[in-house]
Structure 1
Amino acid sequence: MKLSWVQIFRLGLVQMALGAIVVLTTSTLNRLMIVELALPALIPGLLVGLHYAIQLSRPGWGFKSDAGGNRTFWIITGMAILALGAFLAAVAVWLIPQAATLGLLLSVLAYTLIGVGVGAGGTSLLALMATATAPTRRAAAATIVWLMMIFGIAATAGIVGAMLDPYTPALLLRIVGSVCALAVLVTVIAVWGVERAVHAEQEPEKTPFLDGLKEVWREREARNFTLFVFLSMTAYFMQELILEPYAGLVFGFTPGQSTSLSGAQNGGVFIGMLLVGIAATGLKWGALRSWVIAGCLGSCVALLAIASLGTIGPGAPLTAAVVALGFFNGMFAVAAIGSMMALAGAGRERREGTRMGLWGAAQAIAAGFGGLTGAALVDVFRMTSLSTSQSFGLVFVFEAALFIAAAFMAAQVMERSMTRRALVPGE
């Protein structure tokens, strides 16, 4: 028995809850550290990079799912760990002005827990979807689940942005604590009983983890797609840690306004994903590769616009440019995710979770590397004679160049029929 549309929607609620927590840690808390606490951008960059580095464990979590682990248990446990980590990260922001060393140490612990939670819960959720979704529904299921995640991110950023002004540490703790508690509750209700209903549990497999991982790596398309994921996600995440500080330092945005800007960006992502979901999945317009390439090139243009607006400063239409960036990011991302879900279910059976884990690890490495590189470059440029707007602008231009490279790579490695063919192990 395969997942029904209602059950797919329920699993999407879990992804939505996960996105709601993560956006607070990578956007709101990051901006507070850089602007309100006046910390170098490299510090939150290293913390976010740490949580992505911890997600190198994703192939291991995926393999556990393939080997017959209790996915429901790991989804709920992962979300609880993620929520605890996010709340401790907010506590650390409150603590740093009073005891900097202790606050930074608490931040390290918090972002470690965030990485463990996302890795365990997120990978187990995707593994459940890859194994229990009918092949004809995988691309549509991926679109639905990711649209719900982006909706959760955008809604959380918008609502929290409106509630966070005027900013106080106590208000931050109340808001983050409420979001985390609600996310865990939604996860438990949404996922409970789904795995049993579809009979997705599997008997334990005795194949060692490294052997299973090698089997997947020998699949040519899985290997090529891993490299594409790394390059494209490096471009995707390079602005993650610097966009809100850019809005605050160059355009005078308040903490609430910059958090709302993140919500507007993810609103654009939602619209871009919805467009591709309807056009490519519903109406069968265009190959996924074409949507990926268009999204990458559009993201490049939007980033160049964001960089150029820095010369204007306050009053410039930054929000419109950021929404455009989100729109093209969404086009690219959902087409890549649709390909990922289809490829995960192809090839040797009972390796769906391992493939999702491998691509999740590539994304995590790229996200950590991209975010950290973007933050570090801003710090380096600001130590030169360049102005603040020029320092940020150069990073956005470099990110735009990476999106061009990703578009060329997509044209090479993503064949038009790649989501319709089975992978041949060892090819």
Structure 2
Amino acid sequence: MMLGWVQIVRLGLVQMALGAIVVLTTSTLNRVMVVELALPATLPGLLVGLHYGIQITRPNWGFRSDTGGDRTRWIVAGMAVLALGATGAAWAVLLFEGAVLLGMIVSLLAYTLIGVGVGASGTSLLALLATATAPERRAAAAMIVWLMMIFGIAMTAGVVGTLLDPYSHGLLVRVVGTVSLLAVLLAGLAVYGIERRTVAPREPDPAPFRQGLREVWAERRTRHFTIFVFLSMTAYFMQELILEPYAGLVFGLTPGETTTLSGAQNGGVFLGMLAVGLLLSGFRIGGLRGWIVLGCLGSCAALAVIASIGPMGARDLLLPSVVALGLFNGMFAVAAIGAMMALAGQGRDRREGTRMGLWGAAQACAAGFGGLAGAALVDLARAALTTDAQAFGTVFLFEAGLFVAAAWMAAIIIDGRRSAPVVIPGE
């Protein structure tokens, strides 16, 4: 029995709860450490990088959900660990005031738990979605789940921002703890009973993890798609840390204006995901490969415009070009997730979670690497070139080139049909 629309929305609630906790650790706590505690910006950056780095364990979590015969357990357990990590990270902020070393130790432990929790719950959730979703519904399912995550992030940021005024460290701990607890309860209720009613019971697989991972990595489709995920996600995240500084240094935008610009970009991502999900599943227009290629090439074009308007001083073109970048990013992302779910069920049976874990690890590594690489390249370019506009523009053009490479790779390895599997020519 395949997932119905109501059950897909329920799994989206789990992803929404996950996003609600993660946004507190990557934005709210980040700001508090830099502004209220006056700590070096590198510190929260390294802590966020730690949680991304821990997610290289995603294949292990996916394998455990494959072989254990119960993905729901790993989803709920992962959410609980994530909540514990987020609450611990907020408590560490309180400790930094009087005991920096203790605060640092607690932070390292907390962000490790965050990485473990995201890896365990997120990978098992996507594996369940891939296993139990009908092929013709996969693009729409990906759209629903990711749009709900974006909604959860936006809603949590707005509500928590209101609750934290007037600010105190103690209030921060209480708010983060409450949000985390509610998120775990929501996720548990949302996922309850879905796996039992849609996925046939399976006996646990006694194969060890290394054997399972070797079996999956031996699949040519899986290897090629892993490379595609890392390449495309590196391009996707390379502008994350440099777009707002570019707007401020080159166009003179204030912090409030650059925050609005970032929000507009995320709005474009939302619209791009919504459009592709509806066109693919509702109106049967296009296939996964076509939307991935269009999204990558459109992102390339938007980045080229963003790079070119800096030297021209064309400030009026910045907002529409950034919205266009978000729109094409959203198109590419939701179609790529649909292709990922299609491929997860191909190859050796009962390895969906291992494949999703492998691609999740590639995405997490790309997120950390892409953001840091973009920032480092800008620093190098600013030292070598005459103006900030030229420096940032050079990096944006390099990122555009990565999107072209990702489009070329997608055109080769992904079938053009609507609910496409991934095919490697010559197999």
What is the TM-score normalised by the length of structure 2?
0.85
Q: State the shift of 1:319 in Å.
A: 5.2
Q: Name the counterpart of 2:156.
A: 156
Q: State the shift of 1:162 in Å.
A: 6.2
What is the alpha-carbon distance in structure 2 between the residues aligned to residue 186 and residue 343 of structure 1? 29
Q: Name the counterpart of 1:218.
A: 218
Q: Deviations over 1:236-277 (max 9, x none)?
A: 1223344456667763225xx766655443322111011001
Taking structure 1 as reference, are residues 65 and 377 closer, same or farther at Cα in structure 2, changes over 3 Å only?
A: same
Taking structure 1 as reference, are residues 244 and 182 closer, same or farther at Cα in structure 2, changes over 3 Å only?
A: farther
1:346 equivalent to 2:371? Answer: no
> Percent of counterpart pairs with the same letter?
68
Q: Name the counterpart of 2:54.
A: 54
What is the alpha-carbon distance in structure 2 between the residues aligned to residue 302 and residue 158 of structure 1? 29
Range with greater deviation from structure 2 (54-63 or 40-49): 40-49
What is the alpha-carbon distance in structure 2 between the residues aligned to residue 311 and residue 288 of structure 1? 36
What is the alpha-carbon distance in structure 2 between the residues aligned to residue 246 and residue 169 of structure 1? 32
Q: State the shift of 1:408 in Å.
A: 2.4
What is the alpha-carbon distance in structure 1 between the residues aligned to residue 39 and residue 214 of structure 2? 42
CA root-mean-square deviation: 3.5
Q: Name the counterpart of 1:401.
A: 401
Range with greater deviation from structure 2 (317-326 or 332-341): 317-326
Q: Name the counterpart of 2:253.
A: 251
Q: Name the counterpart of 1:63.
A: 63
What is the alpha-carbon distance in structure 2 between the residues aligned to residue 164 and residue 245 of structure 1? 26
What is the alpha-carbon distance in structure 1 between the residues aligned to residue 344 and residue 60 of structure 2? 15
Q: Name the counterpart of 2:355.
A: 355
Taking structure 1 as reference, are residues 106 and 193 closer, same or farther at Cα in structure 2, changes over 3 Å only?
A: same
Q: Deviations over 1:14-61 (max 9, x none)?
A: 011112222333344445555666665544333222212211111111
Q: Deviations over 1:343-401 (max 9, x none)?
A: 11223221111111111111112112112323444555677787777665554443333
**Is contact 1:154-1:262 (8 Å) kept?**
no
What is the alpha-carbon distance in structure 2 between the residues aligned to residue 204 and residue 265 of structure 1? 44
1:108 equivalent to 2:108? Answer: yes
Range with greater deviation from structure 2 (323-332 or 158-167): 158-167
**Is contact 2:298-2:328 (8 Å) kept?**
yes
Q: State the shift of 1:62 in Å.
A: 1.0
| Number of equivalenced pairs | 424
**Is contact 2:415-2:421 (8 Å) kept?**
no
AA aligned to 1:331 is M
Q: Name the counterpart of 1:11.
A: 11
What is the alpha-carbon distance in structure 1 between the residues aligned to residue 99 and residue 20 of structure 2? 28
The equivalences for 1:211-290 within 5 A come to 211-243=211-243, 251-254=253-256, 262-290=262-290
Give 3-state SS (helix, strand or coil) of 1:205's partner.
coil
**Is contact 2:273-2:334 (8 Å) kept?**
yes
What is the alpha-carbon distance in structure 2 between the residues aligned to residue 258 and residue 173 of structure 1? 28
1:206 equivalent to 2:180? Answer: no
**Is contact 2:136-2:418 (8 Å) kept?**
no
**Is contact 2:135-2:419 (8 Å) kept?**
no
Range with greater deviation from structure 2 (227-236 or 407-416): 407-416
What is the alpha-carbon distance in structure 2 between the residues aligned to residue 201 and residue 181 of structure 1? 30
The equivalences for 1:324-335 within 5 A come to 324-335=324-335
Range with greater deviation from structure 2 (120-129 or 321-330): 321-330
Taking structure 1 as reference, are residues 105 and 303 closer, same or farther at Cα in structure 2, changes over 3 Å only?
A: farther
AA aligned to 1:206 is P
Q: State the shift of 1:234 in Å.
A: 0.8
AA aligned to 1:253 is P
Taking structure 1 as reference, are residues 381 and 420 closer, same or farther at Cα in structure 2, changes over 3 Å only?
A: closer
What is the alpha-carbon distance in structure 1 between the residues aligned to residue 404 and residue 422 of structure 2? 29
Q: Name the counterpart of 2:180.
A: 180
Give 3-state SS (helix, strand or coil) of 1:3's partner.
coil
What is the TM-score normalised by the length of structure 1?
0.85
Q: State the shift of 1:66 in Å.
A: 1.4
AA aligned to 2:255 is F
What is the alpha-carbon distance in structure 1 between the residues aligned to residue 2 and residue 275 of structure 2? 26
What is the alpha-carbon distance in structure 2 between the residues aligned to residue 311 and residue 166 of structure 1? 42
Range with greater deviation from structure 2 (46-55 or 30-39): 30-39
Q: State the shift of 1:78 in Å.
A: 0.8
Q: State the shift of 1:102 in Å.
A: 3.9
**Is contact 1:238-1:373 (8 Å) kept?**
yes
What is the alpha-carbon distance in structure 2 between the residues aligned to residue 390 and residue 124 of structure 1? 44
**Is contact 2:75-2:121 (8 Å) kept?**
yes
What is the alpha-carbon distance in structure 2 between the residues aligned to residue 71 and residue 204 of structure 1? 12
What is the alpha-carbon distance in structure 2 between the residues aligned to residue 307 and residue 94 of structure 1? 42
Range with greater deviation from structure 2 (165-174 or 179-188): 165-174
**Is contact 1:45-1:375 (8 Å) kept?**
no
Q: Name the counterpart of 2:299.
A: 299
Q: Name the counterpart of 1:413.
A: 413
What is the alpha-carbon distance in structure 1 between the residues aligned to residue 179 and residue 373 of structure 2? 29
1:192 equivalent to 2:192? Answer: yes
**Is contact 1:154-1:264 (8 Å) kept?**
no
Q: Name the counterpart of 1:88.
A: 88
Taking structure 1 as reference, are residues 326 and 30 closer, same or farther at Cα in structure 2, changes over 3 Å only?
A: farther
What is the alpha-carbon distance in structure 1 between the residues aligned to residue 323 and residue 236 of structure 2? 14
What is the alpha-carbon distance in structure 1 between the residues aligned to residue 125 and residue 379 of structure 2? 37
Taking structure 1 as reference, are residues 410 and 148 closer, same or farther at Cα in structure 2, changes over 3 Å only?
A: same
Segments of structure 1 that go 5 or more residues without pairing to the other structure are none
Taking structure 1 as reference, are residues 408 and 27 closer, same or farther at Cα in structure 2, changes over 3 Å only?
A: farther
What is the alpha-carbon distance in structure 2 between the residues aligned to residue 138 and residue 79 of structure 1? 24
The equivalences for 1:108-147 within 5 A come to 108-147=108-147
Taking structure 1 as reference, are residues 380 and 104 closer, same or farther at Cα in structure 2, changes over 3 Å only?
A: farther
Range with greater deviation from structure 2 (392-401 or 269-278): 392-401
Range with greater deviation from structure 2 (335-344 or 348-357): 348-357
What is the alpha-carbon distance in structure 2 between the residues aligned to residue 111 and residue 380 of structure 1? 30
Q: Name the counterpart of 1:373.
A: 373
